[in-house]
Amino acid sequence: MALLLCSDALIAGATSRPAPPQTRPAGARTSDKLSVTEHELSIEGQALRYRATTGYLPIKDESGRERANFFFIAYEKLPVAAPASRRITFVFNGGPGAAAVWLHLGALGPKRVALRNAQGDIPVPPYKLVSNPQTWLDLTDLVFIDPVGTGYSRPAAGESGQQFYGVREDVASVADFIRLYITRYERWLSPKFLAGESYGTARAAALSEFLLDRYGIALNGIVLISCVLNFQTIQLGDGNDLPCPLYLPTYAAIAWFHGKLSGDLQKDLEKTLHEVEQFASGEYAAALNKGSALGADEQKWIVDRLSRYTGLPGQLVARCNLRISPDTFRREILSDVRQIVGRYDGRIVGFDLHPIAGWVEYDPSLSGYLPAYSATFNDYVRRDLHYENDLPYEALTDRVHPWNFARGGARGNAGYLNVTEDLRSAMAKLPHLKVLVAAGYFDLATPYMSANYTVNHLDLSPALRANVVQTYYRGGHMLYHNQESLVKLKLDAKAFIENAVSGK
């Protein structure tokens, strides 16, 4: 990660005040207990005024029975003479079990968590927020959605959470929220986007077709950050060697970051990754396909190449039968100094608590960020947005589990969730629909070559394939923790959104 974090000395801090009653957005109801405030942010010397609406949007069935209360925070650029003329983006994270706080206070919102340095290292308490000149609010209005069971969102009294905790259940409820929001706030004619991270990319892909078929809502674009649409590409197991070559370039990137590659491979990261990608999809994939028919000499050659590209000892690679799991890599790449590397970001390291037991107890690239996001959000929502709620804010929770990954007869590979056909179908039905796929090189949760594989297997016509843009960053799963990547993501999003609304 590079460049400097923006500080309050470099950009003017946002100011906030409760909005007067006449500025309450059309459609907002006092029974929803919404807090509406106005703020100002300086971006490159230009003042950006905006309104924040915070609170619940109750979801009801057609009989009027309340099913769930969706917590959301919506930002609208001011002044708004005609809301329908403004673009609007619905944003969520993944998990399942993650609230939207990660994209909200990490990248897209008007404030972001202050990290320790430009590389994005974990901050030390007391945590704080800083103004975010890389917010997308000057490009599009933003609605951050916490799916049921996350954040402050909860099933209504007497309603079972299991009707929301599953692939199709989740898509249906989030789609209902979006439909109701654009109805109440008169945004049916606005250019519409979805932005999701991690499992949120699977949600976005499935929503793209569901919104169209169920409610007649056509999207202009979808932003997929740290993408996973086909879970077979990331779940290594008996009978599934597909993830092995797809993880390999990420292993190489992390080994490169920690200086574990040979001199020639350390010189140029992108050049090295290109070489590893060619080997992974060529000789390595072919060797795995041979199984036990692989000859001894060929196996030794593959072992040597894997050792060269991962920084792991050849004996270990051979012992793994050429199939290196992410946990094995995390545990072994820095075992000489008794450290493990992060799953969400392989640049972040932590002390190995169980070097002899041989298992990884925690993720150093998550455990330190979680309290920073949780603390700053709980302070921000009360102090700046003037919203009160005594429920625990579930930034990352297991209360939504067990998650129903079954598709109810919908499309997907046996045993693996796969929503690529939902996206493919939506793109065929809406030839204007654009897709941005953003991936971090150091992400061991959703490796970037898995996203490449998924895009390459969408089976689109050349014209539709041209609607998919792929971008890469020197970051991890939360690629925006790297200041350089945060800036690049904003520039890439700006070009993408402009193109998606141009109709070209």
Q: Tell whether 309 and 439 lie within a shared domain.
A: no
Q: Tell whether 282 and 156 lie within a shared domain.
A: no
Q: Tell whether 299 and 165 lie within a shared domain.
A: no
Q: Tell whether 153 and 222 lie within a shared domain.
A: yes
Predicted confidence at residue 85, as pLDDT, reads 82
Question: Tens digit of pLDDT for each residue in 206-237?
Answer: 999 999 999 999 999 999 999 999 999 999 98
Q: Which helix (H) or strand (E) holds 202?
A: helix 199-210
Q: Give percent of the chain with pLDDT exceeding 70.
A: 92
Average pLDDT along the chain: 91
18 — pLDDT class (breaks 50, 70, 90): very low
- Domain-embedded: residue 320: no
Q: Tell whether 81 and 189 lie within a shared domain.
A: yes
Q: What is the DSSP string of 243-277?
A: HHHHHHHHHHHHHHHTT-S-HHHHS-HHHHHHHHH
Question: Tens digit of pLDDT for each residue in 302-340?
Answer: 999 999 999 999 999 999 999 999 999 999 999 999 999
Give me 218's structure tokens.
Answer: 């056509």
Residue 75: domain span: 15-232+375-502
356 — pLDDT class (breaks 50, 70, 90): confident
Q: What is the DSSP string of 442-453?
A: T-SSS-HHHHHH
- Domain-embedded: residue 336: no
Contact predicate 471/437, CB 8 Å = yes
Please name the residue that has the structure tokens 């990754």: 273
- Domain-embedded: residue 83: yes
Q: Give percent of the chain with pLDDT exceeding 90.
A: 86
Average pLDDT estimate for 478-503:
96
- Domain-embedded: residue 360: no
- Domain-embedded: residue 411: yes
With a cut of 90, say whether residue 13 has pLDDT above it.
no
Residues in the chain: 504
- Domain-embedded: residue 6: no
Q: Tell whether 26 and 115 lie within a shared domain.
A: yes
Structural domain ending residue among the three candidates 315, 332, 355: 315
280 — pLDDT class (breaks 50, 70, 90): very high
242 — pLDDT class (breaks 50, 70, 90): very high
Question: Tens digit of pLDDT for each residue in 167-178?
Answer: 999 999 999 999
14 — pLDDT class (breaks 50, 70, 90): very low
CATH code of residue 69: 3.40.50.1820
Report the DSSP beta bridge partners of residue 77.
50
Give me 44's structure tokens.
Answer: 């490159």
With a cut of 70, say whether residue 484 has pLDDT above it.
yes
Q: Tell whether 88 and 151 lie within a shared domain.
A: yes
- Domain-embedded: residue 480: yes
The C-alpha atoms of residue 400 and residue 96 are separated, in whole angstroms, by 7
Predicted confidence at residue 83, as pLDDT, reads 78
Structural domain ending residue among the three candidates 296, 315, 334: 315
Give me 471's structure tokens.
Answer: 């971008």
The C-alpha atoms of residue 252 and residue 29 are separated, in whole angstroms, by 53
Structural domain ending residue among the three candidates 266, 298, 315: 315
User: Quick check: helix, strand or coil at residue 137?
Assistant: coil
Average pLDDT estimate for 342-367:
92
With a cut of 90, say whether residue 96 has pLDDT above it.
yes
The C-alpha atoms of residue 130 and residue 440 are separated, in whole angstroms, by 23
- Domain-embedded: residue 361: no
Instruction: Work out how many domains the chain is built from and give that number.
Output: 2
**Maximum C-alpha span of the chain:** 78
With a cut of 70, say whether residue 462 has pLDDT above it.
yes
Q: Tell whether 244 and 131 lie within a shared domain.
A: no
Contact predicate 147/59, CB 8 Å = no
Q: Tell whether 383 and 475 lie within a shared domain.
A: yes
Q: Tell whether 228 and 244 lie within a shared domain.
A: no
With a cut of 60, say whether residue 45 has pLDDT above it.
yes
Q: Tell whether 171 and 274 lie within a shared domain.
A: no
Q: Which helix (H) or strand (E) holds 278?
A: helix 269-279
The C-alpha atoms of residue 58 and residue 344 are separated, in whole angstroms, by 33
Contact predicate 449/250, CB 8 Å = yes
Q: Tell whether 72 and 124 lie within a shared domain.
A: yes
